[in-house]
């Protein structure tokens, strides 16, 4: 009796299995799993005749589809958490050459237990645990010497097979596993990867279409974007201070000193705003100061001489205005931050006034000077209206995403301490940047939000840029307030906000998912009577910021024919509805965090495939929500080839022909714009080579 089941299994084994072709022999593990080089054939169930015919049909179907895919050049590989891309390509008749994960063995147990596949979370800068290396000599080879087998078809559980006897193999994973094995020696025609560093470089050169560019740090790292935008005046007659909050790389001495001057000048302006407010002038709005644990709080923290402090602030701002209006051209005017003022004492008094509630006083004459001076400064400084009066700055790690490591600071010594921690002897690697915090953002139901806006670069020469017309808003989990600088109130990243519960003080109209689509936002603006703000102010502003960033970064980016890249730009909106670019992310996350992002992320991936695959054969094919906003054309000149913009959409944004590219200009003085029509001063010819964009963590 005990031998009957065994005999039955022996009769089934070898009779009903259909071996796969071209199987290199290989050992079988002690647990029954087939190791690398051995193909796992499907086991049989209780209905032997039925099982044999299904396996034969499955193999024939797989062969037909593979032969067609090879002929039509439709072999693809996906590296990373992109199930939508995989599904869309399969629906188009593409066959996947599957890749294993690094450092993870296939878990094949007796009884057909499922493989353990730990999930990894994608990140906007492409960081992800676990990599696979495509081997140019055939197959997908795990890196670091692992012994992980390929994703071959694996034995199925008999019990599961019986329950799913009528399963449609067309939609099952088994046929895709089988086809993946059959194309194991094929070079993929299309690759969608989260990191280029996980792909063998020899093979990468043979892949026709790739979703990443090799070198995008000049655009996609905070340091790179900061440095690139300093050179914008050489490419466009545009001022980065009109769309990018003032930003400095703390690892370089020159920019650290420029930040110190900017901090002091902003403190002087902020003190005058506070003085006007406390004197009863309501033209300049401020919030209550944030709580500070530096020194005593409240009105008891009085100043030794409020009138003297206001006079010093007036003197500094008047000198600064003279520089901005170019009144110092014919005379030597010292920097406003290098006057006889004791800046240490001035800043300590400012902290007491701004953060501890100390009183300020203005005489009648001082009040009139203050009002006139602030009005004239507002005409010269594009960021005057959003910088507030508390002088808050935000420190960001240069090459990290998802809000990691970001802190807000209100005191100069806090920022400089961080700078001392990150400065290197060569001064070339800048681990941190400091950026002016937008203290007067537009809020929705009293809550801060930002905008994730996608754009696609399909060619670098000529530069071709597509703007996605659908985007989404990300809300904080607590009401906005400058009195508290917690991440839950000020960082809108989904990965940050998911760590916090919604505050009981939050307006109930804020969506529970903390996400809105751009269409919901437009409906909200219409209810406020600002329906035109989206299409007339915000969208044109976002397009201009994206194009300006690309134009000044493209010489430091490595483009490859056949490649493309989808980027995610993050914008904050000011009270006047002007968008402010915060950063640009390569490899933006496609993991849905809500119903809104589930729909939009799927749509942008679908439309991206339309652009990069369908448009090659049919230039008039639908492009979904993508809008072509820029394409360069080349015009021959005696000096060579000069790039000139000819796109109507670009002209509508106010862009002009690209000038001949020369030396990069220096950083604008004290982080502010020069007078209209003025030329940037000449820079040391060696300066550009001293501070090149540095590679970050990622391709």
- pLDDT greater than 90 at residue 242: yes
Q: What's the pLDDT band for 636 if we cut at 50, 70, 90?
A: very low
Q: What rounded mean pLDDT belongs to the chain?
A: 74
The DSSP line for 295-315 is S--STTS--S-HHHHHHHHHH
Name the least confident of 251-255, 263-267, 622-626.
251-255
Phi then psi for residue 527, to 5 deg, are -65, -25
d(CA 614, CA 630): 20
Q: What's the pLDDT band for 269 if we cut at 50, 70, 90?
A: very high
Summarize the chain as % helix, strand, coil (round to 5): 35, 15, 50
Interior/surface letters 573-584, b for 16+ CB within 10 angstroms, e for the rest: bbeebbbbbbbb
End-to-end CA distance of the chain: 64
pLDDT of residue 251: 85
pLDDT of residue 204: 85
d(CA 545, CA 59): 53
Pair 600, 594: CB distance under 8 Å:
no
What are the beta bridge partners of residue 463?
A: 460
Of 410, 369, 371, nearest to 389 by C-alpha is 410
- pLDDT greater than 70 at residue 270: yes
**199-217: pLDDT as tens digits:** 888 888 899 999 999 889 9
According to DSSP, the β-strands at 209-210 and 190-193 are: parallel
Domains and CATH numbers, the chain: 58-99+172-210 (no CATH), 216-244+441-631 (3.30.470.20), 246-281+304-437 (no CATH)
H helix intervals, 106-213: 158-163, 173-182, 201-204
**45-71: pLDDT as tens digits:** 444 444 444 488 899 999 999 999 999
> Cα 269 to chain center, whole Å?
32
What are the beta bridge partners of residue 569?
A: 453, 584
The sign of the CA dihedral 109, 112, 117, 118 is negative
Residue, of 609 and 421, whose pLDDT is higher:
609
**Half-sphere exposure of residue 643: CA atoms within 13 angstroms, side-chain side:** 17
pLDDT of residue 502: 79
d(CA 559, CA 556): 10
pLDDT of residue 382: 96
Residues 6+ apart with CB under 8 A from 534: 518, 521, 522, 525
Residue range 77-88: average pLDDT? 94
Altogether, the residues listed in the chain come to a count of 699
Q: What's the pLDDT band for 398 if we cut at 50, 70, 90?
A: low
**The tokens of 613 are what?**
């695959």
> Cα 77 to chain center, whole Å?
23
pLDDT of residue 325: 86
pLDDT of residue 506: 86
Pair 79, 191: CB distance under 8 Å:
yes
pLDDT of residue 174: 87
**The tokens of 614 are what?**
């369908």
Q: What's the pLDDT band for 653 if we cut at 50, 70, 90?
A: very low
pLDDT of residue 647: 46
**The tokens of 462 are what?**
């000529």
d(CA 451, CA 400): 19
pTM for this prediction: 0.76
**The tokens of 401 are what?**
């995403």
Phi then psi for residue 28, to 5 deg, are -105, 130
Q: What's the pLDDT band for 226 if we cut at 50, 70, 90?
A: very high
d(CA 335, CA 344): 17
Q: What's the pLDDT band for 640 if we cut at 50, 70, 90?
A: very low
Q: What's the pLDDT band for 227 if we cut at 50, 70, 90?
A: very high
**The tokens of 190 are what?**
């299309």
**The tokens of 450 are what?**
């930002």
**295-345: pLDDT as tens digits:** 444 444 566 677 789 999 999 999 999 999 876 555 555 566 666 689 999
**111-164: pLDDT as tens digits:** 333 433 333 333 454 433 333 445 544 444 333 233 333 333 333 333 333 333
414: buried, middle or exposed (CB in 10 Å: 19+, 13-18, 0-12)?
A: middle
């Amino acid at each position: 009796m005990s031998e009957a089941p065994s005999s039955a299994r022996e009769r089934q084994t070898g009779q009903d299995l259909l071996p796969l072709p071209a199987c290199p022999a290989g050992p079988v593990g002690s647990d029954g799993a087939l190791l690398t080089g051995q193909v796992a054939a499907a086991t049989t169930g209780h209905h032997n005749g039925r099982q044999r015919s299904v396996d034969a049909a499955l193999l024939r179907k797989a062969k037909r589809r593979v032969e067609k895919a090879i002929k039509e050049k439709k072999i693809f590989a996906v590296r990373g958490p992109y199930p939508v891309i995989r599904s869309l390509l399969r629906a188009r008749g593409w066959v996947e050459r599957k890749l294993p994960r690094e450092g993870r063995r296939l878990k094949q147990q007796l009884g057909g237990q499922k493989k353990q596949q730990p999930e990894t979370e994608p990140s906007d800068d492409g960081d992800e645990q676990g990599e696979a290396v495509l081997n140019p000599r055939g197959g997908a080879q795990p890196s670091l010497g692992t012994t992980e087998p390929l994703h071959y078809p694996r034995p199925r559980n008999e019990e599961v097979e019986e329950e799913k006897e009528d399963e449609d193999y067309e939609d099952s994973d088994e046929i895709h596993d089988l086809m993946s094995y059959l194309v194991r020696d094929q070079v993929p025609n299309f690759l969608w990867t989260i990191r280029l560093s996980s792909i063998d470089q020899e093979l990468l050169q043979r892949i026709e279409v790739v979703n990443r560019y090799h070198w995008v740090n000049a655009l996609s790292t905070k340091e790179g974007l900061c440095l690139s935008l300093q050179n914008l005046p050489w490419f466009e007659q545009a001022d980065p201070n009109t769309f990018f909050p003032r930003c400095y790389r703390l690892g370089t001495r020159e920019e650290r000193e420029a930040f110190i001057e900017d901090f002091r000048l902003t403190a002087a302006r902020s003190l005058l705003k506070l003085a006007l407010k406390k004197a009863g002038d309501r033209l300049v709005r401020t919030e209550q100061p944030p709580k500070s644990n530096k020194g005593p709080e409240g009105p008891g923290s009085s100043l030794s001489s409020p009138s003297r402090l206001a006079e010093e602030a007036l003197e500094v701002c008047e000198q600064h205005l003279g520089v901005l209006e170019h009144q110092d051209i014919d005379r030597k005017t010292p920097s406003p931050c290098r006057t006889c003022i004791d800046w240490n004492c001035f800043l300590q008094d400012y902290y007491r006034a701004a953060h501890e509630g100390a009183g300020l006083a203005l005489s009648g004459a001082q009040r009139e000077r203050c009002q006139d001076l602030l009005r004239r400064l507002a005409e010269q400084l594009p960021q005057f209206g959003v910088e507030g009066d508390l002088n808050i700055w935000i420190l960001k790690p240069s090459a990290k995403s998802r809000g990691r490591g970001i802190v807000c600071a209100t005191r100069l010594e806090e920022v400089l301490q961080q700078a001392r921690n990150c400065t290197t002897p060569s001064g070339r690697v800048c681990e941190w940047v400091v950026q002016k915090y937008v203290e007067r953002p537009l809020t929705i139901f009293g809550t801060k939000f930002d905008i994730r806006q996608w754009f696609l670069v399909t060619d670098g020469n000529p530069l071709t840029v597509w703007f996605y017309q659908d985007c989404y808003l990300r809300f904080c989990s607590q009401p906005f307030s400058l009195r508290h600088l917690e991440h839950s109130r000020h960082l809108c990243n989904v990965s940050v906000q998911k760590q916090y519960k919604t505050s009981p003080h939050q307006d109930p109209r804020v969506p529970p998912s903390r996400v809105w689509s751009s269409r919901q936002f437009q409906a909200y603006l219409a209810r406020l009577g600002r329906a035109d703000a989206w299409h007339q102010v915000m969208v044109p502003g976002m397009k201009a910021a994206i194009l300006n960033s690309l134009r000044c970064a493209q010489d430091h980016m490595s483009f490859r024919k056949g490649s493309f890249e989808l980027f995610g730009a993050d914008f904050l909106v000011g009270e006047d509805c002007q968008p402010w670019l915060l950063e640009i992310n390569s490899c933006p996350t496609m993991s849905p965090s809500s119903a809104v992002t589930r729909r939009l992320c799927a749509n942008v991936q679908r439309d991206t495939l339309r652009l990069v695959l369908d448009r090659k054969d049919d230039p008039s094919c639908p492009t979904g929500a993508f809008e072509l906003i820029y394409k360069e054309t080349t015009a021959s000149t005696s000096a060579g080839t000069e790039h000139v913009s000819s796109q109507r959409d670009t002209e509508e944004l106010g862009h002009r022909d690209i000038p001949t590219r020369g030396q990069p200009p220096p950083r604008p003085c004290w982080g502010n714009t020069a007078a209209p029509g003025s030329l940037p001063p000449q820079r040391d010819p060696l300066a550009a080579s001293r501070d090149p964009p540095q590679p970050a963590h990622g391709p």
